[in-house]
Amino acid sequence: MRALVYQAPGIKSWDNVPDPALQTDTDAIVRVDATTICGTDLHILKGDVPAVTAGRILGHEAVGTVQSVGGGVKNVRVGDKVLVSCITACGTCRYCRESSFGQCVGGGGWILGHKIDGTQAELVRVPFADTSTYPAPAGVSDEALLMLADILPTGYEVGVLNGKVRPGDVVAIVGAGPIGLSAILGAKLLSPSHVIAIDKADSRLEAAKGFGADIVVNNSREDALAIVRDLTGGLGADVSIEAVGVPATFELATTLIRPGGHVANIGVHGEAVTLHLEDLWIRNVTITMGLVDTYSTPTLLSLMCSGLLDAEKFITHHYTMDQMVRAYDTFGDAPRTGALKVVLTRE
Amino acid sequence: MRALVYQAPGIKSWDNVPDPALQTDTDAIVRVDATTICGTDLHILKGDVPAVTAGRILGHEAVGTVQSVGGGVKNVRVGDKVLVSCITACGTCRYCRESSFGQCVGGGGWILGHKIDGTQAELVRVPFADTSTYPAPAGVSDEALLMLADILPTGYEVGVLNGKVRPGDVVAIVGAGPIGLSAILGAKLLSPSHVIAIDKADSRLEAAKGFGADIVVNNSREDALAIVRDLTGGLGADVSIEAVGVPATFELATTLIRPGGHVANIGVHGEAVTLHLEDLWIRNVTITMGLVDTYSTPTLLSLMCSGLLDAEKFITHHYTMDQMVRAYDTFGDAPRTGALKVVLTRE
Amino acid sequence: MRALVYQAPGIKSWDNVPDPALQTDTDAIVRVDATTICGTDLHILKGDVPAVTAGRILGHEAVGTVQSVGGGVKNVRVGDKVLVSCITACGTCRYCRESSFGQCVGGGGWILGHKIDGTQAELVRVPFADTSTYPAPAGVSDEALLMLADILPTGYEVGVLNGKVRPGDVVAIVGAGPIGLSAILGAKLLSPSHVIAIDKADSRLEAAKGFGADIVVNNSREDALAIVRDLTGGLGADVSIEAVGVPATFELATTLIRPGGHVANIGVHGEAVTLHLEDLWIRNVTITMGLVDTYSTPTLLSLMCSGLLDAEKFITHHYTMDQMVRAYDTFGDAPRTGALKVVLTRE
Amino acid sequence: MRALVYQAPGIKSWDNVPDPALQTDTDAIVRVDATTICGTDLHILKGDVPAVTAGRILGHEAVGTVQSVGGGVKNVRVGDKVLVSCITACGTCRYCRESSFGQCVGGGGWILGHKIDGTQAELVRVPFADTSTYPAPAGVSDEALLMLADILPTGYEVGVLNGKVRPGDVVAIVGAGPIGLSAILGAKLLSPSHVIAIDKADSRLEAAKGFGADIVVNNSREDALAIVRDLTGGLGADVSIEAVGVPATFELATTLIRPGGHVANIGVHGEAVTLHLEDLWIRNVTITMGLVDTYSTPTLLSLMCSGLLDAEKFITHHYTMDQMVRAYDTFGDAPRTGALKVVLTRE
């Protein structure tokens, strides 16, 4: 088959590779009908994720059709159209018992395109298929469904639910890339009084408006703290969500928060940050961080079926899979191309 | 009257000062029967708390007898024996409405011995007396009750409840000074499987055993992380509580935690700390911090009345109030004197 | 002044009565600019609420202008436009400390138009004015604000929040009178996948659609249980809300619920109900009930200011206060008049 | 093998039956080393549980040794000593994903000795072995471990955690049979200020004292409501736990509760109860009910290993398995024999 193979920092290729085969009886082999590229894939290509070694097929998001299953697979059948989640769950370990599938210590967690071969390929082996895939409901397009593989549950769980967004809240979201936009969509489900999107790129802020931001702040030229304080009688935001992953944006998120508020970090960080406990120790602030667990995937799927979650607005570019390298170029140059999510399909 | 007056960094005195008077109709004047010294008072004396200005009477903990009340005081009566809490609550602001009295924006919060004159004096003016004092129940000594003015609710709310300690948890407490010991006492109310106390002083670790620590670690010579991991199958503690207030101990607390665990900061920090988000972003860790709200004071009082909270074991030294300066010397030299809490009474 | 006076079961009158006067220093006298009639007032008039005695002025909802305040009132000033809440809060008792103002044991709770004279009058005495009124924000009409005196926080707290409605939930609401409609409005803030309104009157179900119900069921001729089960794969609703107050509707609400779901009772019941524990004991169902606490009033006010809560759609009829008896007639004959909420203003 | 077989209401026998065999690849066959009898088994024998049909082997609690496993079993190995839980979990259904294993809709839930053959036998087939058994830790006796099969997690989850017991609470437990005693043990983990045990049998109340009850009330001759109100300033208990399963005790539990309190039903009810909503609707009471989910089993096991949960005190009688009928006689005549739990071992 053909697949996107990581070779070394900066080097990838769309290659011929052997087809994957069932390795244990709970595996499924899934034909990939649609896949996409994540910001994390760009991090990997920079060499930031040393666990990814030469020869690894990248990608952790897919919608596909089950081609074969191991003898221990109970609920997934050949021919089923399924969502392949970025999180694989063994279903039996301590963490899976507590719905914390992202922290699975039984061989799952984030492994696709990371510790095992991933979804940017014609076929993918999915371990623990019963607990790591979701049946595609009628009436939802492959493309919309694909947004549930990672980006939507990540924004919703790690941003919105960890941040404990409640009706009437003022929610500040630092970063209006795909993950920040996903946090906006998720936050709007809970009727905040104001969502404030903060970014340095006007094009992203324009997108943020389209996703429901009530106020946008370009913090390359505007003072986000002053704007948030003005809106909140000097107190600060009820919730701030970090959706970038660098020290400056984390620090900003902790500055914007009111006493008693929640800072939810979604960003993937490559270096340590400074936490101003000399100011914050007295302010009853809660800071959360984490990998998505995907416990919310069925909920989000239900909302999508009810028309309450318009996922297709993420998709700015379409390619066929053999245009994979071009799709990477488009996605990797988002400031110029305006790419949010690029979708790659079989044909 | 006589009172302990802050003059300048490093300079304090036991002075004659004017008696306090009622300033608004919700004030009470309380005759102080017992007071104590807090680690925060030592910070103030070092000049670390610039809000405290020359001439300020220190102290934010007292048990006393009501001497006079303003016309608007409804529930507190002259002659009542009361606990004067470190937190003053207006009772009507947004934060008081939500039981977050420590964050009161209506003129309360931590003000005694900070923004207004405090309790290390023969008399103290207590604003918002109805919502800032608690009637002393029969059968509880002044000394035991005094421990509810700050240290016990602080350890319980900011350490144990913010940290979400649950039965069966492994709880690591970094720092075995009075606040760390208070966190141990509070944690034991919730039946953790193991409480691990970590400090560099053997004398404090000895005290920690007396307060219920199951395991003590002297991290000047032992590897706390290795010990916690050994105990937890490599995962880390369910809850870690920071009870010191310096960067190294905060960093240790965040290192000891398991994926999905809670880090509760109690320490008063004077400088920024490093947060290793490059390791932690993926681990579903929650970090909390805050000033005590004292919403738990009635609960802790009830536990004290039932004999479930032995507060007197904090008290290592007794003085009369006119020995205030000597009491400060004893408390300020805890490594040598073994002081945990010193109590000062009228006679 | 003129006021609506309860004389005996079935007998009321719009009478001349003495103006109210300040009784304690935390009272305010408020000139009523707008008031309304609640279903509870009809219950009182039937004689169902024995605590209401002859001569009592009814009404527990108002928007008004402060005419005088006692010496202990700190935050409310003469001339302020305020919302007078159905719940009076002492602000200092055990329950008020925990934001459970409806259960106030310090002299508050539901007292207006119940234990003391109420708001269906030209003037009303409001005890504990600082903690029992809310300043009217700019840009919100008296009429919209008036809906926050009782009906909106009741539907939201006792129905939606007690029922723990979450995004994606299927929510069944039994009863589409004003309280049921309020629960619909509140539930929609949390993005349920489906809101099912159940009633025996088509006119009310028509109103329910206007308030956002996705599915309406006339259970005088349709099988609500079958419809809910069809929608939920046989499991039942995630949340069911009882908004009538008779045994049959409560029983229906407990029948519609899925294992693990929440039944939130809002209805005011006059007799015991049957709880089928022989079926339910094994189903992990939670049942809640309660008087509104009004802790959510500031949140709902904020949502109203942001345009996210359209309260005016409740208001079907307008009267001047001297048309009080006619307004009662209209409200009391809702099946014929289609009345939801009637508003009475000074002129 | 030999097993206890249900024949018809009132009729059971210790019979020769065929050995169980693996039916699906996730099954295990476990040799029963210790089993016990539950109050539910007595209900079944009365004919109260129609799902149990003639020929069914009873019993849903065991500690045993794995004799064989299907090809799909990953974590359980032949020779392992395991706890067989009363709840079987498929591990993949909607409810198992949310830790609500008792409500499993994938073929699990309470099935042993109910819908499939149970544990009162020399061998038992355990479906979904990976998610329905727990490895026995070193240092815990078979007998103590056996108490984790049902009674301890039931009292803890359905009574204590559903009832939201918190430190300082007053907890009233109606019924001091094995389940009530288990709720006492569980409640004590959370440091209530007072546990009040209520029963009509002095012998059970005597046992309740041994399990930690602070106050015992014989409600055949004492007024439980008066005693609870006296203790709580007239308010009522913070939590009341129903551990009998008849209308009168449920009604008592709802009477004892304070405004804002929690009533946790554990009892298995055979008929409808009366709920006095005419009194309760205004009191902010929460009522819960449910089958155990066993999500707490690992926690309780950890507490047992730490010596914080003394389970052996439940065990009043020992038999070998071939004395099964005699053991039923003893257990079924608890008022005379004083039986709490009887343990049956191989030899």
Q: Could you read off the pLDDT of D61-82 as tens digits, one per residue? A: 999 999 999 999 999 999 999 9
Q: Give the one of B25, B92, B97 whose C-beta lies nearest to C71's C-beta.
A: B25
Contacts of A167 in chain C (CB under 8 A): 189-190, 299, 303, 308
- Is D102's pLDDT higher than 90? yes
Answer yes or no: do C191 and A299 touch at CB < 8 A: no
What mean pLDDT comes out for the span C8-36? 97
For residue A70, what are the CA distances in angstroms to A23, A92, A123, A130, D92? 8, 18, 15, 11, 16
> Per the structure block, which two tokens stand in for D208?
């309740």
pLDDT number for residue B295: 98
Torsion of CA A156, A159, A163, A169, to 10 degrees: -80
What mean pLDDT comes out for the span D259-283? 96
| Tens-digit pLDDT profile for residues B165-177 | 999 999 999 999 9
| pLDDT-above-70 percentage for chain A | 100
Q: How far is C201 from chain A (nearest CA, A)?
A: 27
Q: How far is C43 from chain A (nearest CA, A)?
A: 32
DSSP, res A35: E
Q: Give the one of B72, B97, B298 whose C-beta lies nearest to C295's C-beta.
A: B97
Q: Residue holding tokens 């492959």? A: A142
Answer yes or no: do B95 and A259 touch at CB < 8 A: yes
pLDDT number for residue A263: 98
| Tens-digit pLDDT profile for residues C53-100 | 999 999 999 999 999 999 999 999 999 999 999 999 999 999 999 999
What mean pLDDT comes out for the span D131-150? 97
Q: Residue holding tokens 């660098």? A: A246
Neighbouring residues of C261: CB distance < 8 A, sequence distance ≥ 6: C236, C237, C238, C239, C240, C285, C286
Q: How many residues does chain A have?
A: 347
pLDDT number for residue D133: 98
Sequence-separated contacts (24+) of C246-254 with Cβ below 8 Å: C246/C271, C247/C271, C247/C272, C247/C273, C247/C274, C249/C174, C249/C175, C250/D277, C251/C276, C252/C174, C252/C198, C252/C219, C252/C224, C252/C225, C253/C172, C253/C174, C254/C280, C254/C285, C254/C287
Q: How many CA atoms lie within 13 A of A23 on its CB side?
A: 9
Q: Which residues of chain B have pLDDT under 50?
A: none
The angle formed by the CA atoms of residues C253, C255 and C256, to the nearest 5 degrees, is 70
Chain B residues with CB-CB distance to A under 8 A? 95, 98, 100, 102-103, 105, 110, 162, 235, 245, 250, 259-260, 265, 267-278, 280-291, 293
Q: Which residue of chain A has the CA closest to C238?
A: A299
Considering only the top CATH level, what class is D153-289? alpha beta
pLDDT number for residue B59: 98
Answer yes or no: do D270 and C278 touch at CB < 8 A: yes
Q: How far is D68 from chain C (nearest CA, A)?
A: 32
Neighbouring residues of C259: CB distance < 8 A, sequence distance ≥ 6: C235, C236, C283, C284, C285, D95, D100, D103
| Strand A194-199 to A215-218 pairing | parallel
Q: Which residue of chain C has the CA closest to B75?
A: C92
Chains touching chain C, criterion 3+ CB pairs below 8 Å = A, B, D
Neighbouring residues of B211: CB distance < 8 A, sequence distance ≥ 6: B181, B184, B185, B188, B313
- Model confidence at A341, pLDDT cuts 50, 70, 90, reads very high
Cβ pairs A/D, distance under 8 A: 41
Answer yes or no: do B303 and D166 touch at CB < 8 A: no
| Tens-digit pLDDT profile for residues C196-215 | 999 999 999 999 999 999 99
| Tens-digit pLDDT profile for residues C215-273 | 999 999 999 999 999 999 999 999 999 999 999 999 999 999 999 999 999 999 999 99
- Is D8's pLDDT higher than 90? yes
- Is D48's pLDDT higher than 90? no
Phi, psi of B102 (to 5 degrees): -65, -25
Contacts of D72 in chain A (CB under 8 A): 25-26, 71-72
Answer yes or no: do B277 and A273 touch at CB < 8 A: yes
Contacts of A232 in chain B (CB under 8 A): none
Phi-psi map region of D80: left, alpha, beta (phi>0 left; psi -120 to 50 alpha)? beta
The amino acid that residue B343 corresponds to is V
Answer yes or no: do C303 and A193 touch at CB < 8 A: yes
Considering only the top CATH level, what class is D2-150+294-345? alpha beta
What is the C-alpha to C-alpha distance for residues B317 and B192, in angstroms, rounded to an integer?
A: 30
| Tens-digit pLDDT profile for residues C174-193 | 999 999 999 999 999 999 99
- Is C300's pLDDT higher than 90? yes
pLDDT number for residue C335: 87
Q: Is the ipTM of this complex over 0.95?
A: yes
User: Per-domain residue ranges for chain B?
Assistant: 2-150+294-345, 153-289
Contacts of D194 in chain B (CB under 8 A): 306
C242 in Cβ contact with C264 (< 8 Å)? yes
**What is the 3 state secondary structure string of chain C?**
CEEEEEEECCEEEEEECCCCCCCCCCCEEEEEEEEECCHHHHHHHHCCCCCCCCCCECCCCEEEEEEEECCCCCCCCCCCEEEECCCECCCCCHHHHCCCHHHCCCCCECCECCCECCCCECEEEECCHHHHEEECCCCCCHHHHHCCCCHHHHHHHHHHHCCCCCCCCEEEEECCCHHHHHHHHHHHCCCCCEEEEEECCHHHHHHHHHHCCCEEEECCCCCHHHHHHHHCCCCCEEEEEECCCCHHHHHHHHHCEEEEEEEEECCCCCCCEEECHHHHCCCCCEEEECCCCCCCHHHHHHHHHCCCCCHHHHEEEEEEHHHHHHHHHHHHCHHHHCCCEEEEECC
DSSP, res A200: S
Phi, psi of C259 (to 5 degrees): -55, 130
SS3 B211: helix
- Is A347's pLDDT higher than 90? no
What mean pLDDT comes out for the span A232-260? 97
What is the C-alpha to C-alpha distance for residues D344 and D347, in angstroms, rounded to an integer?
A: 8
Contacts of A189 in chain C (CB under 8 A): 167, 190-191
Q: Which residue of chain C has the CA closest to A299?
A: C168
B315 in Cβ contact with B143 (< 8 Å)? yes
pLDDT number for residue D335: 87
pLDDT number for residue B294: 98
SS3 B155: helix
What is the C-alpha to C-alpha distance for residues A340 and D204, in angstroms, rounded to an integer?
A: 67
> Per the structure block, which two tokens stand in for B335?
């490594």
Q: How far is D344 from chain A (nearest CA, A)?
A: 30
Per the DSSP assignment, residues forming a β-bridge with A199 are A218
- Is A173's pLDDT higher than 90? yes
Question: For the packed helices B247-255 and B224-231, what is the interaxial angle rounded to 10 degrees?
Answer: 20
